[in-house]
Protein backbone atom coordinates (compact mmCIF):
# COMPACT_ATOMS: atom_id res chain seq x y z
CA UNK A 1 0.00 0.00 0.00
CA UNK A 2 1.38 3.43 -0.91
CA UNK A 3 0.95 6.48 1.29
CA UNK A 4 0.63 9.87 -0.38
CA UNK A 5 -0.95 12.52 1.73
CA UNK A 6 -1.18 16.24 1.05
CA UNK A 7 -1.77 18.78 3.75
CA UNK A 8 -4.18 21.46 2.70
CA UNK A 9 -2.10 24.55 2.15
CA UNK A 10 -2.28 27.37 4.66
CA UNK A 11 -4.65 30.21 3.86
CA UNK A 12 -2.82 32.90 1.98
CA UNK A 13 -3.09 36.65 1.83
CA UNK A 14 -3.84 37.89 -1.63
CA UNK A 15 -1.62 40.58 -3.09
CA UNK A 16 -3.51 43.41 -4.78
CA UNK A 17 -3.04 43.59 -8.51
CA UNK A 18 -4.42 46.14 -10.92
CA UNK A 19 -7.02 44.64 -13.22
CA UNK A 20 -7.53 45.62 -16.83
CA UNK A 21 -10.48 45.32 -19.13
CA UNK A 22 -10.48 42.01 -20.96
CA UNK A 23 -9.78 42.38 -24.67
CA UNK A 24 -8.71 38.84 -25.48
CA UNK A 25 -10.18 35.42 -25.07
CA UNK A 26 -7.69 32.60 -25.38
CA UNK A 27 -8.09 29.68 -27.69
CA UNK A 28 -5.57 26.93 -27.94
CA UNK A 29 -5.39 25.97 -31.57
CA UNK A 30 -1.64 25.51 -31.78
CA UNK A 31 -1.79 21.80 -31.13
CA UNK A 32 1.12 20.80 -33.30
CA UNK A 33 4.18 18.75 -32.64
CA UNK A 34 6.54 20.98 -30.72
CA UNK A 35 10.00 20.73 -29.28
CA UNK A 36 10.76 21.90 -25.76
CA UNK A 37 13.12 24.52 -27.21
CA UNK A 38 10.20 26.05 -29.14
CA UNK A 39 8.61 27.13 -25.85
CA UNK A 40 9.44 30.42 -24.17
CA UNK A 41 8.71 30.74 -20.45
CA UNK A 42 6.83 33.92 -19.54
CA UNK A 43 6.28 33.39 -15.82
CA UNK A 44 5.38 30.80 -13.19
CA UNK A 45 1.67 30.28 -12.54
CA UNK A 46 1.98 27.90 -9.62
CA UNK A 47 4.25 25.54 -7.77
CA UNK A 48 3.57 22.08 -6.45
CA UNK A 49 5.17 19.17 -4.66
CA UNK A 50 7.37 18.08 -7.55
CA UNK A 51 7.89 21.18 -9.63
CA UNK A 52 6.09 24.13 -11.12
CA UNK A 53 3.64 25.16 -13.81
CA UNK A 54 4.92 27.84 -16.17
CA UNK A 55 3.02 30.09 -18.54
CA UNK A 56 4.68 29.60 -21.93
CA UNK A 57 4.32 30.80 -25.50
CA UNK A 58 5.67 29.41 -28.75
CA UNK A 59 8.71 31.46 -29.75
CA UNK A 60 7.77 35.11 -30.12
CA UNK A 61 4.08 34.45 -30.69
CA UNK A 62 2.42 36.11 -27.70
CA UNK A 63 -1.08 35.73 -29.16
CA UNK A 64 -1.46 32.25 -27.65
CA UNK A 65 -0.20 30.75 -24.43
CA UNK A 66 -0.03 27.37 -22.72
CA UNK A 67 0.64 25.94 -19.28
CA UNK A 68 3.76 23.80 -19.03
CA UNK A 69 3.90 21.54 -15.97
CA UNK A 70 7.52 20.77 -15.19
CA UNK A 71 8.32 18.01 -12.70
CA UNK A 72 11.80 17.35 -11.33
CA UNK A 73 12.89 13.79 -12.03
CA UNK A 74 15.21 13.66 -9.00
CA UNK A 75 12.28 14.56 -6.69
CA UNK A 76 10.01 12.05 -8.36
CA UNK A 77 12.55 9.24 -8.06
CA UNK A 78 13.55 10.17 -4.49
CA UNK A 79 9.87 9.99 -3.47
CA UNK A 80 9.22 6.84 -5.50
CA UNK A 81 6.53 8.66 -7.40
CA UNK A 82 7.36 7.43 -10.91
CA UNK A 83 4.22 5.30 -11.18
CA UNK A 84 1.94 8.20 -10.20
CA UNK A 85 3.52 10.61 -12.65
CA UNK A 86 3.23 8.07 -15.46
CA UNK A 87 -0.40 7.47 -14.51
CA UNK A 88 -1.03 11.25 -14.49
CA UNK A 89 0.30 11.48 -18.06
CA UNK A 90 -1.53 8.36 -19.21
CA UNK A 91 -4.86 9.57 -17.84
CA UNK A 92 -4.57 13.24 -18.83
CA UNK A 93 -3.61 12.36 -22.39
CA UNK A 94 -6.82 10.35 -22.84
CA UNK A 95 -9.30 12.97 -21.64
CA UNK A 96 -11.44 15.35 -23.63
CA UNK A 97 -13.95 17.29 -21.57
CA UNK A 98 -14.82 20.98 -21.38
CA UNK A 99 -14.58 20.64 -17.61
CA UNK A 100 -11.05 19.25 -17.55
CA UNK A 101 -7.89 21.04 -18.62
CA UNK A 102 -6.76 19.81 -22.05
CA UNK A 103 -3.44 18.03 -22.52
CA UNK A 104 -1.42 18.64 -25.70
CA UNK A 105 2.03 17.13 -25.52
CA UNK A 106 4.70 15.76 -23.18
CA UNK A 107 8.48 16.25 -23.15
CA UNK A 108 11.47 15.09 -21.15
CA UNK A 109 15.06 16.21 -20.75
CA UNK A 110 17.87 15.14 -18.44
CA UNK A 111 16.35 16.73 -15.34
CA UNK A 112 12.60 17.08 -15.83
CA UNK A 113 9.48 15.66 -17.39
CA UNK A 114 6.91 18.10 -18.82
CA UNK A 115 3.24 18.23 -19.69
CA UNK A 116 2.00 20.93 -22.06
CA UNK A 117 -1.60 21.87 -21.34
CA UNK A 118 -4.31 24.35 -22.10
CA UNK A 119 -3.72 27.44 -20.00
CA UNK A 120 -6.59 28.78 -17.90
CA UNK A 121 -5.75 32.39 -17.08
CA UNK A 122 -8.69 33.10 -14.75
CA UNK A 123 -6.75 31.87 -11.72
CA UNK A 124 -7.55 29.34 -9.04
CA UNK A 125 -11.03 29.08 -7.58
CA UNK A 126 -9.25 28.93 -4.22
CA UNK A 127 -8.08 32.51 -4.75
CA UNK A 128 -11.62 33.71 -5.50
CA UNK A 129 -12.98 31.88 -2.47
CA UNK A 130 -10.30 33.50 -0.30
CA UNK A 131 -11.24 36.91 -1.63
CA UNK A 132 -15.00 36.46 -1.20
CA UNK A 133 -14.85 34.50 2.06
CA UNK A 134 -17.68 32.20 1.01
CA UNK A 135 -20.02 31.71 -1.95
CA UNK A 136 -23.76 32.21 -2.32
CA UNK A 137 -25.99 29.27 -3.23
CA UNK A 138 -26.09 30.23 -6.91
CA UNK A 139 -22.31 30.55 -7.10
CA UNK A 140 -21.88 27.26 -5.24
CA UNK A 141 -24.33 25.58 -7.60
CA UNK A 142 -22.37 26.74 -10.66
CA UNK A 143 -18.89 25.76 -9.50
CA UNK A 144 -20.05 22.49 -7.93
CA UNK A 145 -21.91 21.62 -11.14
CA UNK A 146 -18.69 22.13 -13.17
CA UNK A 147 -16.85 19.81 -10.76
CA UNK A 148 -19.67 17.25 -10.99
CA UNK A 149 -19.50 17.29 -14.80
CA UNK A 150 -15.73 16.73 -14.66
CA UNK A 151 -16.04 13.87 -12.14
CA UNK A 152 -18.91 12.28 -14.05
CA UNK A 153 -16.75 12.25 -17.18
CA UNK A 154 -13.92 10.55 -15.24
CA UNK A 155 -16.17 8.06 -13.46
CA UNK A 156 -17.79 6.97 -16.71
CA UNK A 157 -14.24 5.92 -17.70
CA UNK A 158 -13.64 4.23 -14.33
CA UNK A 159 -11.14 6.89 -13.26
CA UNK A 160 -11.14 8.06 -9.64
CA UNK A 161 -9.79 11.62 -9.13
CA UNK A 162 -9.15 11.62 -5.34
CA UNK A 163 -8.02 15.23 -4.93
CA UNK A 164 -11.01 17.49 -5.42
CA UNK A 165 -10.55 20.87 -3.67
CA UNK A 166 -10.77 24.55 -4.67
CA UNK A 167 -7.02 24.60 -5.47
CA UNK A 168 -7.58 22.06 -8.23
CA UNK A 169 -10.34 24.00 -9.96
CA UNK A 170 -9.15 26.73 -12.27
CA UNK A 171 -11.07 29.43 -14.15
CA UNK A 172 -10.88 29.69 -17.91
CA UNK A 173 -11.25 33.03 -19.70
CA UNK A 174 -15.04 32.70 -19.70
CA UNK A 175 -15.28 31.98 -15.97
CA UNK A 176 -16.09 28.26 -16.22
CA UNK A 177 -13.97 26.04 -14.00
CA UNK A 178 -11.84 23.12 -15.10
CA UNK A 179 -10.25 20.32 -13.12
CA UNK A 180 -6.43 20.29 -12.93
CA UNK A 181 -3.78 18.11 -11.27
CA UNK A 182 -4.25 14.43 -11.97
CA UNK A 183 -1.38 13.45 -9.63
CA UNK A 184 -3.67 11.23 -7.53
CA UNK A 185 -6.01 10.08 -10.30
CA UNK A 186 -6.18 6.38 -11.04
CA UNK A 187 -7.82 4.22 -13.65
CA UNK A 188 -9.43 1.42 -11.67
CA UNK A 189 -9.16 -2.27 -12.53
CA UNK A 190 -12.13 -4.40 -13.32
CA UNK A 191 -12.98 -4.84 -9.60
CA UNK A 192 -13.11 -1.04 -9.36
CA UNK A 193 -11.21 -0.77 -6.07
CA UNK A 194 -7.84 0.49 -4.88
CA UNK A 195 -6.05 0.86 -1.53
CA UNK A 196 -3.50 3.68 -1.75
CA UNK A 197 -3.81 6.12 1.17
CA UNK A 198 -3.83 9.40 -0.70
CA UNK A 199 -5.55 12.75 -0.99
CA UNK A 200 -5.63 16.01 0.92
CA UNK A 201 -6.11 15.41 4.63
CA UNK A 202 -9.26 17.50 5.25
CA UNK A 203 -10.96 16.02 2.17
CA UNK A 204 -10.26 12.34 2.82
CA UNK A 205 -13.14 9.90 2.88
CA UNK A 206 -13.48 7.56 5.91
CA UNK A 207 -12.77 4.40 3.89
CA UNK A 208 -9.42 5.87 2.75
CA UNK A 209 -8.48 6.69 6.36
CA UNK A 210 -9.52 3.20 7.46
CA UNK A 211 -7.62 1.66 4.56
CA UNK A 212 -10.61 -0.48 3.65
CA UNK A 213 -10.13 -0.11 -0.09
CA UNK A 214 -11.98 2.57 -2.02
CA UNK A 215 -13.44 3.38 -5.40
CA UNK A 216 -14.94 6.27 -7.37
CA UNK A 217 -17.37 7.01 -4.52
CA UNK A 218 -14.58 8.78 -2.60
CA UNK A 219 -15.07 11.63 -5.09
CA UNK A 220 -18.70 11.99 -3.93
CA UNK A 221 -17.41 12.46 -0.38
CA UNK A 222 -15.08 15.23 -1.53
CA UNK A 223 -17.98 16.96 -3.34
CA UNK A 224 -19.70 17.32 0.04
CA UNK A 225 -16.55 18.78 1.63
CA UNK A 226 -16.10 21.12 -1.34
CA UNK A 227 -19.68 22.39 -1.07
CA UNK A 228 -19.30 22.98 2.66
CA UNK A 229 -16.11 24.96 2.00
CA UNK A 230 -17.81 26.98 -0.76
CA UNK A 231 -20.84 27.86 1.37
CA UNK A 232 -19.06 28.60 4.65
CA UNK A 233 -15.43 29.38 3.69
CA UNK A 234 -14.49 26.78 6.27
CA UNK A 235 -13.82 23.05 6.40
CA UNK A 236 -16.29 20.70 8.10
CA UNK A 237 -13.60 18.54 9.69
CA UNK A 238 -10.75 20.47 11.30
CA UNK A 239 -8.08 19.65 13.86
CA UNK A 240 -4.61 20.48 15.10
CA UNK A 241 -2.95 17.72 13.11
CA UNK A 242 -3.78 14.95 10.65
CA UNK A 243 -4.64 12.53 13.47
CA UNK A 244 -7.20 14.95 14.97
CA UNK A 245 -8.67 15.67 11.55
CA UNK A 246 -9.02 11.96 10.77
CA UNK A 247 -10.70 11.42 14.16
CA UNK A 248 -13.24 14.13 13.36
CA UNK A 249 -13.87 12.74 9.88
CA UNK A 250 -14.53 9.30 11.37
CA UNK A 251 -16.98 10.85 13.87
CA UNK A 252 -19.20 11.58 10.86
CA UNK A 253 -21.02 14.45 9.16
CA UNK A 254 -23.80 14.43 11.77
CA UNK A 255 -21.32 15.82 14.31
CA UNK A 256 -20.72 18.90 12.14
CA UNK A 257 -22.41 22.20 13.00
CA UNK A 258 -23.74 23.98 9.93
CA UNK A 259 -23.98 27.77 10.17
CA UNK A 260 -27.59 29.01 10.29
CA UNK A 261 -27.47 30.58 6.84
CA UNK A 262 -26.80 27.23 5.13
CA UNK A 263 -30.14 26.17 3.66
CA UNK A 264 -31.83 22.84 4.41
CA UNK A 265 -31.42 21.68 0.83
CA UNK A 266 -27.69 22.51 0.96
CA UNK A 267 -27.30 20.60 4.25
CA UNK A 268 -29.26 17.72 2.74
CA UNK A 269 -27.03 17.38 -0.34
CA UNK A 270 -23.81 17.76 1.67
CA UNK A 271 -24.97 15.04 4.07
CA UNK A 272 -25.95 12.83 1.12
CA UNK A 273 -22.46 13.19 -0.36
CA UNK A 274 -20.78 12.66 3.02
CA UNK A 275 -22.52 9.43 3.98
CA UNK A 276 -20.06 7.25 5.85
CA UNK A 277 -21.16 4.15 3.94
CA UNK A 278 -20.04 4.63 0.30
CA UNK A 279 -23.02 2.56 -0.91
CA UNK A 280 -25.42 5.12 0.58
CA UNK A 281 -23.62 8.15 -0.90
CA UNK A 282 -25.26 10.35 -3.51
CA UNK A 283 -23.53 9.54 -6.81
CA UNK A 284 -24.21 9.56 -10.53
CA UNK A 285 -25.07 12.64 -12.54
CA UNK A 286 -28.80 11.97 -12.92
CA UNK A 287 -29.35 11.39 -9.19
CA UNK A 288 -27.31 14.49 -8.33
CA UNK A 289 -29.15 16.62 -10.88
CA UNK A 290 -32.45 15.54 -9.38
CA UNK A 291 -31.51 16.57 -5.84
CA UNK A 292 -33.64 19.51 -4.63
CA UNK A 293 -30.49 21.63 -4.14
CA UNK A 294 -30.19 21.81 -7.93
CA UNK A 295 -33.96 22.31 -8.57
CA UNK A 296 -33.53 25.71 -10.17
CA UNK A 297 -30.20 25.02 -11.85
CA UNK A 298 -30.00 24.87 -15.66
CA UNK A 299 -27.69 21.91 -16.38
CA UNK A 300 -28.31 22.08 -20.13
CA UNK A 301 -27.12 25.69 -20.20
CA UNK A 302 -24.02 24.69 -18.23
CA UNK A 303 -23.12 21.94 -20.68
CA UNK A 304 -23.87 24.26 -23.64
CA UNK A 305 -21.72 26.93 -21.93
CA UNK A 306 -24.52 29.47 -22.12
CA UNK A 307 -24.98 29.64 -18.34
CA UNK A 308 -23.65 32.95 -17.02
CA UNK A 309 -20.65 32.27 -14.76
CA UNK A 310 -20.55 34.00 -11.34
CA UNK A 311 -17.22 35.69 -12.09
CA UNK A 312 -15.82 36.63 -15.49
CA UNK A 313 -12.07 37.01 -14.99
CA UNK A 314 -10.27 40.09 -16.17
CA UNK A 315 -7.60 38.96 -18.63
CA UNK A 316 -5.98 41.59 -20.82
CA UNK A 317 -4.10 39.30 -23.20
CA UNK A 318 -2.81 35.75 -23.72
CA UNK A 319 0.15 36.26 -21.42
CA UNK A 320 -1.61 38.10 -18.59
CA UNK A 321 -0.88 36.18 -15.37
CA UNK A 322 -2.34 38.80 -13.02
CA UNK A 323 -5.03 36.40 -11.73
CA UNK A 324 -2.29 34.23 -10.22
CA UNK A 325 -0.36 34.88 -7.05
CA UNK A 326 3.31 35.74 -7.60
CA UNK A 327 5.56 32.69 -7.29
CA UNK A 328 9.29 32.66 -6.64
CA UNK A 329 11.19 32.38 -9.92
CA UNK A 330 12.63 29.12 -11.16
CA UNK A 331 15.92 28.39 -9.44
CA UNK A 332 18.75 26.79 -11.44
CA UNK A 333 18.17 23.13 -12.00
CA UNK A 334 20.45 20.94 -9.95
CA UNK A 335 21.77 17.78 -11.60
CA UNK A 336 19.58 14.75 -10.95
CA UNK A 337 21.85 13.09 -8.45
CA UNK A 338 21.06 9.91 -6.58
CA UNK A 339 18.67 8.54 -9.19
CA UNK A 340 18.43 4.80 -9.10
CA UNK A 341 16.11 2.04 -10.20
CA UNK A 342 14.59 2.09 -13.67
CA UNK A 343 16.42 4.95 -15.39
CA UNK A 344 14.04 4.79 -18.32
CA UNK A 345 10.84 5.12 -16.29
CA UNK A 346 10.05 8.37 -18.12
CA UNK A 347 10.14 6.84 -21.62
CA UNK A 348 6.43 7.68 -22.14
CA UNK A 349 7.13 11.43 -21.94
N1 LIG B 1 -3.62 24.45 -16.97
C2 LIG B 1 -3.31 25.39 -16.09
N3 LIG B 1 -3.55 26.70 -16.36
C4 LIG B 1 -3.21 27.65 -15.47
N5 LIG B 1 -2.62 27.41 -14.28
C6 LIG B 1 -2.36 26.14 -13.96
C7 LIG B 1 -2.67 25.07 -14.83
N8 LIG B 1 -2.30 23.92 -14.25
C9 LIG B 1 -1.78 24.26 -13.06
N10 LIG B 1 -1.80 25.59 -12.87
C11 LIG B 1 -1.29 26.32 -11.68
O12 LIG B 1 -0.17 25.64 -11.15
C13 LIG B 1 -0.45 25.17 -9.82
C14 LIG B 1 0.20 23.82 -9.61
O15 LIG B 1 -0.37 22.90 -10.53
P16 LIG B 1 -0.62 21.38 -10.15
O17 LIG B 1 -1.53 21.32 -8.96
O18 LIG B 1 -1.03 20.63 -11.35
O19 LIG B 1 0.87 20.97 -9.74
P20 LIG B 1 1.35 19.90 -8.71
O21 LIG B 1 2.86 19.91 -8.80
O22 LIG B 1 0.69 18.60 -8.98
O23 LIG B 1 0.87 20.52 -7.36
P24 LIG B 1 0.56 19.79 -5.97
O25 LIG B 1 1.80 19.09 -5.56
O26 LIG B 1 0.14 20.92 -5.06
O27 LIG B 1 -0.56 18.87 -6.27
C28 LIG B 1 -1.96 25.16 -9.72
O29 LIG B 1 -2.36 25.29 -8.39
C30 LIG B 1 -2.34 26.36 -10.59
O31 LIG B 1 -2.19 27.56 -9.87
159-160 and 103-108 beta bridge pairing:
unpaired
Closest residue (by CA) to atom 2 of ligand 1?
Answer: 119
Cβ 49 under 6 angstroms from ligand 1: yes
> In whole angstroms, how far apart are CA 333 and each of 74, 112, 130, 186, 282?
10, 9, 32, 30, 46
Cβ 26 under 6 angstroms from ligand 1: no
Among 57, 76, 181, say which to mutate for ligand 1: greatest number of ligand atoms within 8 Å of CB: 181
Closest residue (by CA) to atom 20 of ligand 1?
Answer: 48
Residue ranges, the chain, pLDDT below 70 = 1-32, 331-341
Query: What is the reported pTM?
Result: 0.89
Cβ 166 under 6 angstroms from ligand 1: no
Q: CB atoms < 10 A from the CB of 40, how many?
A: 16
Closest residue (by CA) to atom 31 of ligand 1?
Answer: 46
Which of ligand 1's atoms lies nearest the C-alpha of 181?
18
Asked if residue 17 belongs to a known ligand binding site, the reply is no
Q: How far is the CA of 177 from the centre of ligand 1 (A)?
A: 14
Tens digit of pLDDT for each residue in 73-91?
999 999 999 999 999 999 9
Q: Measuring CA to CA, which residue among 272, 308, 306 is closest to residue 292? A: 272
Q: CB atoms < 10 A from the CB of 286, how many?
A: 7
Cβ 183 under 6 angstroms from ligand 1: yes
* Residue 20: per-residue pLDDT: 25
Q: What is the DSSP string of 80-108?
A: T-HHHHHHHHHHHTT---TTBPPEEEEEE
DSSP 3-state of 137 = helix
* Residue 340: per-residue pLDDT: 56
Asked if this assembly's ipTM is beyond 0.85, the reply is: yes
DSSP tag of 164: -
- C-alpha to C-alpha distance for 65 and 78, rounded to whole angstroms: 32
Cβ 117 under 6 angstroms from ligand 1: yes
Which of ligand 1's atoms lies nearest the C-alpha of 53?
12
Q: How far is the CA of 283 from the centre of ligand 1 (A)?
A: 27
Cβ 233 under 6 angstroms from ligand 1: no
* Residue 14: per-residue pLDDT: 33
Cβ 120 under 6 angstroms from ligand 1: yes
Active site residues: 163
Q: How far is the CA of 100 from the centre of ligand 1 (A)?
A: 13
Q: How far is the CA of 72 from the centre of ligand 1 (A)?
A: 14
Tens digit of pLDDT for each residue in 141-182?
999 999 999 999 999 999 999 999 999 999 999 999 999 999
Amino acid sequence: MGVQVRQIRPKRTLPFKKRHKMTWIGDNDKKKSLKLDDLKVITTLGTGGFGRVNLVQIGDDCSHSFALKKLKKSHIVANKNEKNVKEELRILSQLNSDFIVKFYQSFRDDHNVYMLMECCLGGELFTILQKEGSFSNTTTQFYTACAIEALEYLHSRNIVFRDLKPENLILDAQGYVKLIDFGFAKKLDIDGRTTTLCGTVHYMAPEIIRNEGHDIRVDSWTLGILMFEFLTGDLPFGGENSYAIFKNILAGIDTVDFPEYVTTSAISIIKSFCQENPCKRLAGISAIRQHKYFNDFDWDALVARTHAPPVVPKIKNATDSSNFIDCPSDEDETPSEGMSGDMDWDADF
